[in-house]
Amino acid sequence: MNHLVDQVGLSNSILCDSAGTSSYHIGSPPDRRMSAAAAAKLGIQLRGRARQFAKSDFQEFDLILAMDRDNYNDILSLDPTGKYHHKVRLMCDSCTRHNLKEVPDPYYGGVEGFNQVIDLLVDACEGLLQEITQQELQA
- Helix axis angle for 32-42 and 111-138, nearest 10°, is 60
Q: How far is the C-alpha of 20 from the C-alpha of 6, rounded, in Å? A: 23
CATH of the domain at 41: 3.40.50.2300
pLDDT band at 138 (very low <50, low <70, confident <90, very high): confident
Q: Cα-flanking dihedrals φ and ψ of residue 66, to 5°?
A: -105, 140
Say how many domains are in the chain.
Answer: 1
Exposed, middle or buried, 126 (CB in 10 Å: 0-12/13-18/19+)?
A: middle
User: Which helix H or strand E contains 7, and what residues bound it?
Assistant: helix 2-7
Helix extents (H) in 8-139: 32-42, 57-60, 69-77, 111-138
Q: pLDDT above 90 covers what percent of the chain?
A: 75
- Please write the tens of the pLDDT for every residue from 79-126: 999 999 999 999 999 999 999 999 999 988 888 999 999 999 999 999
User: Which helix H or strand E contains 88, and what residues bound it?
Assistant: strand 88-90
- Structural domain range at position 29: 2-138
- State the catalytic residue, choosing from 6, 70, 93, 105: 105
Determine the pLDDT at residue 108: 85
Gyration radius from the chain CA atoms = 15
Greatest distance between any 2 Cα atoms in the chain: 44
Q: Report yes or no on whether pTM surpasses 0.85.
A: yes
- Please write the tens of the pLDDT for every residue from 7-65: 989 999 999 999 999 888 898 988 899 999 999 989 999 988 999 999 999 999 999 99
Please indicate whether residue 105 is annotated as part of the active site.
yes
Local structure of residue 20 (DSSP, 8 states): B
Determine the pLDDT at residue 36: 92
